[in-house]
Structure formats: C-alpha cells, structure tokens
C-alpha cells in the first residue's frame, strides 16, 4: 500500500506526509530530500551543473525505487508529474492526493521556507509569483490526470487535511489507520 502526494511546491506535501503516515501507521519520505541524499547534491546544484533533463532522469530513478516500497507516503516533487511514466506509476501504486493552494498562498509559503531558496532553483526566467502562476497553469492538467483525490490545502490545518483525506482512501487503507 502506497500513497503519493502531488502538487506544486508549497502546497503542503512535506508537512502533510508525516502526519498522514503516522495516522496510517506507514512511513513517509520526501522524494526531493531522498533525491538530494542519493546524489549528494542539492536540487539547485543538479540543475546548475547538469540541467533539468538530467534532474528529471534522476528524479524518475528515485521515484521508481520509492514506488517499489510498501506502507509508504511519498511527498513527490512538484514537477514529478511531468513524466508520463511516473504519472502512470503513481496511479498504479495507490491513491494519488493532489494538494492545491492559490498562487498567492504558494508564493507566501515558499518565501517563508528558508530551505527553498538554497535548494530549489527558479524554473523560468521570471521566478517569483509569475513563475508560480505560469507553472501551476501548465501543470494543472497533469495533476488532474494523475490525482485520485483532490484536496484544497489553503486555510486548513494539517489535522484537518488528514481528517478530509482518510474517508476518501480505499477501505483497505482506512482499516489500517489509528485514531
């Protein structure tokens, strides 16, 4: 049993993953952190030295490994859904939860997260809120295609999100959870 959290950076995937995993008695992993650990470099460094295509190849390798595990909640990188095979594999592995938030909320959350700037590169020439708006718009159809559950994370507590997600999981997942 596996659950994948998808959504743009700053929608709450890495914050929700440990709480949801704990409630289900699963383990959890942030796929971006795992990618950095496996490769011994930050995502920003990989982008700077090898470019986005190589980063996406490395991301795919890490995700394939993670998707082979059991009783795991994966907080996937915001762009992981760009790979068609990865979208397919996410859906085959189990529920895929798409966390959504407004562009403005995402922008505020990214600015508040001190590690984002040092580890995550700009993905367009504009950066900032314009980049977020552009990429969220471009990626939305792929998130929608991949998701089995969609949850608005804006204005919700982490516990509130967990409470909204648990009843939407397949019965075999819900039987696992602890109250």
pLDDT one-digit tens code per residue, 100-157? 998 888 888 777 765 555 444 544 445 678 888 988 999 999 999 999 999 999 888 9
Residue 153, domain member (yes or no): yes
Q: State how far the Cα of 68 lies from the Cα of 151, in Å rounded to an integer.
A: 25
| Type and span of the H or E element at 139 | helix 128-146
Number of domains in the chain: 1
Residue 113, domain member (yes or no): yes
Residue 178, domain member (yes or no): no
Q: Give 8's contacts (C-beta < 8 A, 6+ positions apart).
A: 78, 101, 106, 132, 135, 136, 139
Residue 157, domain member (yes or no): yes
> Which range marks the domain in which residue 87 is found?
2-168
Residue 69, domain member (yes or no): yes
Q: Average model confidence (pLDDT) for the chain?
A: 88
Q: What is the CATH number of the domain that holds 150?
A: 3.40.50.300
Query: Residue 105: how many CB atoms within 10 A of its CB?
Result: 17
**How far, CA to CA in Å, does 94 sit from each of 28, 56, 88?**
14, 22, 11
Summarised one tens digit per residue, pLDDT across range 73-108 is 999 999 999 999 999 999 999 999 999 998 888 888
% of the chain exceeding 90 in pLDDT? 69
Residue 176, domain member (yes or no): no
């Amino acid at each position: 049993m596996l659950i994948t959290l998808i959504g743009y950076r700053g929608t709450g995937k890495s914050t929700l993953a440990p709480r949801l995993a704990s409630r289900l008695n699963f383990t959890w992993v942030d796929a971006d952190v795992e990618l950095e650990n496996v490769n011994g470099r930050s995502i920003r460094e990989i982008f700077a030295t090898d470019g986005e295509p190589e980063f996406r190849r490395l991301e795919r390798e890490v995700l394939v490994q993670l998707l082979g595990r059991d009783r795991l909640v994966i907080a996937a990188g915001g762009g992981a859904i760009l790979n068609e095979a990865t979208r397919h594999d996410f859906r085959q592995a189990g529920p895929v939860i798409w966390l959504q938030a407004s562009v403005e909320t995402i922008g505020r959350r990214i600015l508040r997260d001190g590690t984002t700037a040092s580890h995550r590169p700009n993905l367009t020439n504009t950066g900032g809120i314009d980049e977020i708006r552009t990429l969220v718009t471009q990626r939305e159809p792929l998130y929608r295609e991949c998701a089995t559950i969609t949850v608005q994370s804006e204005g919700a507590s982490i516990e509130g999100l967990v409470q909204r997600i648990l009843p939407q999981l397949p019965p075999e997942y819900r039987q696992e959870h602890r109250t």
